[in-house]
Amino acid sequence: MAQTSEKKSSGLGSIFNYLDYRDYLKDYYEERKKKFPLFSYQMFGMKLNISASHLFSVLEKKRHIPVRCAPAAKKILGLSGRAFQYFDLLLAALRTKKLREHDELMSKAFQLRDIHRRSLEKDELTYLHQWWNVVIRSFLQINQGKIDPKGIANNIRPKVSEDQVKASIELLKKIGLVVNIGHGRVKLSDAHLTI
């Protein structure tokens, strides 16, 4: 129960803003210390199952947390999903002594960072009612936005009609997922969508 309140009380920013998991742990410690003055290295170390002196060395970037402590750290920090994986990749990258492996792990970590996504509003969800709307939007993107209903219809499987393609393009324009740029072309208003 105490861990739930720790997650809610944490004023930390996104872990994706960090390149070293130890900075994130240190910011977590300092945030907790501000809110709960009795919070100590010893208390934090106990939660991670390491000594207070080892924890201090970690926060000073002189040592790393043992791999066995990573699950406890992620739980304390309230990490899940991509943030959970990002923490693991930072830990592995910083622990390795091989430069190539470090670079590969950091590259994987960067791929997990947040990308801008547009959230679909209630009226825009009509876009998802027919599967071909999604396909046609993607087709427009890879076809440099060229509006060619016949050509698009001929390239989609399972088959859709030219009228369905026209209706789909009109829907995409109406709800603002594509915008006219002239000369029979459109462009996507946002590259990534979410609901």
The structure tokens listed for 60 are: 């000073």
The fold for domain 118-194 equals Arc Repressor Mutant, subunit A (1.10.10)
Q: Dump pLDDT digits (tens) for 127-156.
A: 888 999 999 999 998 888 899 999 999 999
Give the pLDDT mean for 58-74. Answer: 96
| Residue ranges covered by each domain of the chain | 2-111, 118-194
The fraction of the chain above a pLDDT of 70, given in percent, is 89
> Which position has the higher pLDDT, 126 or 135?
135
What's domain 2-111's architecture?
A: Orthogonal Bundle (1.10)
Averaged pLDDT score across all residues of the chain: 88
Matching CATH topology for 2-111 and 118-194?
no
pLDDT at 153: 95
